[in-house]
Structure 1
Amino acid sequence: MPLTMFVTICRRWAAPLLSAVLAGCATVGQAPAFSSFVVLGEQGAAVARVLIAAPACPDIVIDQRPRPMAVRAPAATLALRSTPSAPADSKPAAFPLLTCEAPLPAAGSYRQASVLGRVLPLPTPAPRRIVVLGDTGCRLQKNSHSYQACNDGAAYPFAAIAAAAAAWRPELVIHVGDYHYRENACPDGNAGCAGSPWGYGWDAWNADFFAPGAALLQAAPWVMARGNHENCLRGGQGYWRLLDPRPLLPGRDCNLAADDAVGNYSDPYAVPIGQDTQLLVLDSASTSWKGLKPGEPGYDKYRELYRKLEALARQAPRNLGIVHHPLLGMGADRKADGATVLLPGDAGLQQAFGSLNAQLLPDGIQAMLSGHVHLWEQVSFASGHPSQFISGFSGTAEDTVPLPERLPDGVTPAPGAQVEQFSSWVDGFGFMSMERLGADQWLVQVHDQQGRVRNTCRLDGKRSRCALAQVR
């Protein structure tokens, strides 16, 4: 950072800051710690975000010209609201920092943008190298008696995965949802998670996502889908103030339970990625795998979502859908007697979408990218359905019940979907990459947490095929 810029920063902020930051101003070259990233929203509009404990937002410098950033959300401790946990296992969500933002010019119209001397990643009009990952937080959940060893880099490897994904040099990162998992306090005597932040405030969000994901946040712009862990009962407050690319609106912030019918749903949006192709980003935070009945609020909300999705899909001949809950994927669980049961795609979305289209998705969608199931998976169909990829294996405790190499006859993830190719990796951490080969063709690779390629697939139109049926 230039000395003159640093002195200006110190003069502007020194009086209100804590003593630790004041000490930083006394040392040339040191500035307040902050998180920065670029998120893409409606029609690919790029937004620069900065999360910083300071009395005012810093300037963003675009091609050497400083511009002010606006406050998206002020520092606040939010009143305790209903959560999935008992009040004794919950606490108010504290965000002792500003969320700052500024729109970026159209991709290709400027050479550099930076904040406090840190260069921001530049959006690419037609990205060819894309990282897809999801389900990245460390699970601390009393209701399920599930406490992941967040202090163990092998048991919770998101930081290593983010670094390996950054080293792959993507031009775009897609997160398919579920960023936040540290919901309840680590039990006394549990060394694996001892001292971990918990709850729905900044400290837990930082430990779960921003700190371990820092290398990848600086590597490329992001598309950030919303998962069920970001619904209003859980991490919704953090999702809306920190991640969503659209304006933060009163009532859509999950702060008051009375507004959850607004805060739990949002419209889909399209992100163009070149060659007449769009990413279509869907919010499925409040669907139910058990299904939604006609007349329930969610049923009507997701029917409305489908209608808007269909209209967006008509804008381009090729689309890749992004939704946290897979409509066309398979999971597995164990019964009490130890037998394996195969689980189809999300029933709530299938029912709502299926009431309007028996094929579930508009014809112009080539593939769906999802998470929620904590594994990697690919499914291709002979029935005209888009290929399904699940990339929910990037940090959260993995699913361990094995999937078969071939689905049994008659087993399908959705009504009418005829599976012709199926591939999976169960109980392994990593990320997925997509490299564009042509208008309708993508090279899809599965990487482990060190970045090594463990499986290679090809997406051609709606159909896909992988080299291995199972990664072992």
Structure 2
Amino acid sequence: MRTSWRALLRALLRSILRPPPHPRRRLLPASLAAAILAGCASTAPLPPDVLSAYVVLGEQGAATARVITAAAACPTLAVDGRPVPMTVRAAPATVAQRPTASGPEDSKPSAFPVLTCEAPLPAGTNAAAVGGAALPVPAPEARRIVVIGDTGCRLKKADHAWQPCNDPEQFPFAAVTAAAARWKPDLVIHVGDYHYRENPCPEGNAGCAGSPWGYGWDAWREDFFRPAEALLRVAPWVMVRGNHESCARAGQGWWRFLDPRAPQPGRDCNAQQDDATGDYSDPYAVPLGGDAQLLVLDTAATSWRGLKPGDTGFARYRDAYQKTEALSQRAAWNLLANHHPIFGIGTDVDKAGQAYLKLGDAGLQQSFGAVNPLLLPPRVQALLSGHLHMWQHVSFRTDHPTQFVAGFSGTLEDVVPLPENVAAVQPAPGAAIGAFSAWQGGFGFMTMERAGPDAWNVAVHDRHGTVRNRCHLQGRLASCAIARVE
């Protein structure tokens, strides 16, 4: 069937592109012909030795095609019908065991028996494919955006957290990405924490029995690349780094697979002595079109306990603030994406079983606050974050940007109830809440659809794509239809 379909496609294209029999009949433009080819190729499966293929966006929206392959050499990419060789980003390797967030007995060397390849996609690319399977290319303007976060299956001994990774109802990330792909976004933003399978599943636990663990390719594939495939195939991604991708955790895979920058010595998280380099990176901007842009901020190594002058993170995040402010001058409306919510509200229980509030990240509040008491540059109107395992929206009566939290796409949810009345809660010093909405205990994704120069219609979807809440964001203020989604 595949052969007959391709033959039919070739015949169709020959009939479209041959010289016209009548002077009034116009040839199909080459760019549109390439788009037809890409659309047909998108249904084609990846070649057997290609384990994942996707497109990441980096500085100024520069697009990079990535392929993870079991082959001995990188494949050739087709860009608008032209062959483009891919280069090696990371060669196969097994990295020696290093100190991690877990004890030595619950850690192991990270095995990456795969080749990571990449090639830049020139601005204006109409179609790209590898082995006949299409890759998504950037749209001229991002009008439809999917936001997901905190997506992996949590296996963490220190927290006695053993999520049933074998049960798609209790680890529904694949269903979430399939529903998000059906929404047909122009762009996907992942707000961090891709990898959660850190420690071995306890013997006798059927829910996670047989799951890979540690920080090598096998855990990365099951936690992220395999369940995310449907969404990786339909739109380019902006990858935001979370604390689970810090050097003491899954940072090795972060640098091999997801970060948009070119590899640099000392930034691979392989050696503990390089962590002061590998745990930080500069912010960058991705244009969204229409005088709007996305600012991407790496906060992987911040601490909820706080940072003080003299700490490496304190100085690095002050520097990141200043660079973010400079980037924000390039557009009238700025959406900032980072993992740790600066203005979020979480809850947990202490050892005595008493519930307590977890307010916005103290490390970022202290380091950013040393530059600006309002914590963020004036041109930042809204934030996208994760880290709290729920969906949440917070807008303010004070001059603070709206905070959205979208950490509800796969990992164990935060289910300790939020306070009924949050009006008097200050998630950051001086931040007075004006509007609040939340959904706890449900898995899903968030969407943003452009409604004007500084306006977006926001929707909260469950794992099947059903809309559970709607919001409207205008400038730095947002309001939602439902305060608490049940």
CA distance in 2, matches of 1:422, 1:408: 8
Specify the code of the residue in structure 2 equivalent to 1:431. Answer: F
CA distance in 1, matches of 2:390, 2:439: 6
TM-score, normalised with respect to structure 2: 0.90
Q: Which residue in 2 is equivalent to 1:220?
A: 235
CA contact (8 A) 1:37 1:217 kept: yes
CA distance in 1, matches of 2:297, 2:309: 21
Q: Which residue in 2 is equivalent to 1:448?
A: 462
TM-score, normalised with respect to structure 1: 0.92
Structure 1 spans left out of the alignment, 5+ residues = 6-28
Instruction: Describe the superposition over 1:248-302 as per-residue Cα deviations: whole angstroms up to 9, x where unpaired.
Output: 1110110111100000000000000101111000000000001001111111111
Change (3 A) 1:222 1:215: same
Matched, 1:333 2:348: yes
The 10-residue stretch of structure 1 (265-274 or 307-316) with the greater mean CA deviation from structure 2: 307-316
CA distance in 1, matches of 2:48, 2:229: 17
Of 416, 420, 423, the residue aligned with 2:434 is 420
Of 96, 99, 103, the residue aligned with 1:82 is 99
Instruction: Describe the superposition over 1:306-340 as per-residue Cα deviations: whole angstroms up to 9, x where unpaired.
Output: 11111111111110000000001110112445443
Pairwise mapping of residues 238-257 of structure 1 onto structure 2 (< 5 A)? 238-257=253-272
Instruction: Describe the superposition over 1:101-128 as per-residue Cα deviations: whole angstroms up to 9, x where unpaired.
Output: 000010xx33211001110011012110
CA contact (8 A) 1:131 1:433 kept: yes
CA contact (8 A) 2:423 2:434 kept: no
Pairwise mapping of residues 5-404 of structure 1 onto structure 2 (< 5 A)? 31-106=48-123, 109-404=124-419
TM-superposed deviation, 1:160: 0.2
Matched, 1:459 2:473: yes
CA distance in 1, matches of 2:117, 2:172: 29
CA distance in 2, matches of 1:467, 1:339: 31
CA distance in 2, matches of 1:289, 1:84: 16
Instruction: Describe the superposition over 1:353-394 as per-residue Cα deviations: whole angstroms up to 9, x where unpaired.
Output: 000000000111110000000000000011111000000000
TM-superposed deviation, 1:342: 1.9
The percent of aligned pairs where both chains have the same amino acid is 61
- Number of matched pairs: 445
TM-superposed deviation, 1:397: 0.3
CA contact (8 A) 1:405 1:423 kept: no
Instruction: Describe the superposition over 1:166-203 as per-residue Cα deviations: whole angstroms up to 9, x where unpaired.
Output: 01111100000000000010010000000000000000
Structure 2 spans left out of the alignment, 5+ residues = 7-45
CA distance in 2, matches of 1:391, 1:163: 17
Secondary structure of 1:122's aligned partner: coil
Of 445, 449, 452, the residue aligned with 1:431 is 445
TM-superposed deviation, 1:405: 4.2
Secondary structure of 2:254's aligned partner: helix
TM-superposed deviation, 1:48: 0.2
TM-superposed deviation, 1:30: 6.1
CA distance in 2, matches of 1:412, 1:339: 20
Secondary structure of 1:303's aligned partner: helix
CA contact (8 A) 2:47 2:131 kept: no
